[in-house]
Amino acid sequence: MRKPVIATMAVVSLVLSGCGTHVAQGPASPTPPVTASDAPGTQTPPNPNTTPPAVKPPETPTPVKREVPNPVHGIMISGWYAGSPDLSGPLLTWAKGAGINTLVLDIKAEDGKLSWESDVPLAKEIGANLRKVGDMAKVIKEMHDQGFWVAGRIVTYNDASLYRARPAWGIPGFPGGAYSFMDPKNENVWQYNLDVAKAAVKVGVDEIQFDYIRYPDKLIAGFNKDTGPEYRTSNINHFLQKAVDELHPLGVKVSADVFGLTTSVAEGDDMQIGQDYKQMAEIVDYISAMAYPSHYAAGTYGLANPNKAPYETVKNSLQRGLDRTPGIPIEKHRPWIQDFNLGGVVYGPAEVMAQVKALNDVGIKSWLIWDPSNKYSRGNDYAKTGQ
């Protein structure tokens, strides 16, 4: 059953701006619209046979400590939205009143662009800094002042900017456009993403959330084709462990986003992307299965159309996630749920709340809502759920 599902997910990815099945994971965009499919500035890639000059890592930030909300009720906010008070102001006012206590803020998006002018040397060198947010530290402080926990989302291995600048660090076979994957085994790539994470900590985030922490669903020989699950999962897990080891001393939490189906495939099946739900949950503080009903093929969990059955889909997915992680605290499970339209099915307050109820019914109280437009359905009082 896995192959048809993956094929379906891949099609969904293309429909949603090359998001790689974290539905429309590209940053939500005010004017002008910017998505993962927007081409960054043209750069001439260096000769892959030459060794790039060493860059000095940024300074280590001072440790911080804030209390994680319990439960977490969160939404994603793009860099463009966060950088526009006319957009972010009303959004955060609604969020606070609706019982949202967590913001997942885009730090590095699918095109490899950072949301602010960071001090990361390599980001400066390759032109990855983008001034979506004029003063990131100020914006995050304002979020804190309103009572929000702020998680910084870093798109890890899908990085067009780095791919063009350091092709030797990437998986061959990609054009250098919106969907271009770096090699999850390459420790230079690890270090760059950790430098970005530490820069985000310096400007105030409470948590680092790694997204696209996987191999591509496109199979490339020597990377995720003709290699075994242990090879792929070990590369993903070793990076996550290094991230935890380096970021925990700074006072921040570490989380990871994974395909929704990782909760349900057979034990030992990494879907050829290097993600093992249980193994990753054992490493990070929180694991977020992208349990979007629109991303499940017809017949999954015995449902004719999972997209039309948000309660049943999410309940089945996360119950399986709990079943395969005995001994892991239930608070570690913090799935993404759907608040967007896809496949002719309209999602609104009732569909979102159905997913929340499904999670409550299996004992999971924390969740994150994904809407790439940053509009979000109004009308639900999330403060009354998950207590």
| Phi, psi (rounded to 5 degrees) for 288 | -120, 100
| Phi, psi (rounded to 5 degrees) for 160 | -65, -35
State residue 47's pLDDT score: 42
State residue 387's pLDDT score: 59
The list of the chain residues with pLDDT below 50 reads 1-53
Query: Per-residue b/e over 16-46, b at no fewer than 16 CB within 10 Å?
Result: bbbbbbbbbbbbbbbeeebbbbbebeeeeee
State residue 358's pLDDT score: 98
State residue 58's pLDDT score: 58
What residue type is assigned to position 96 of the chain?
A: K
Q: How far apart are CA 222 and CA 66, in angstroms?
A: 42
pLDDT in tens, 355-370: 999 999 999 999 999 9
Sequence-distant (6+) residues with CB within 8 A of 22 are: 211, 212, 257, 290, 336, 370
pLDDT in tens, 188-230: 999 999 999 999 999 999 999 999 999 999 999 999 999 999 9
State residue 384's pLDDT score: 84
Superfamily per CATH, domain 2-30+67-381: Glycosidases (3.20.20.80)
State residue 66's pLDDT score: 84
Q: In sequence order, what are the beta bridge partners of 155?
A: 211
Q: The whole model's pTM is what?
A: 0.85
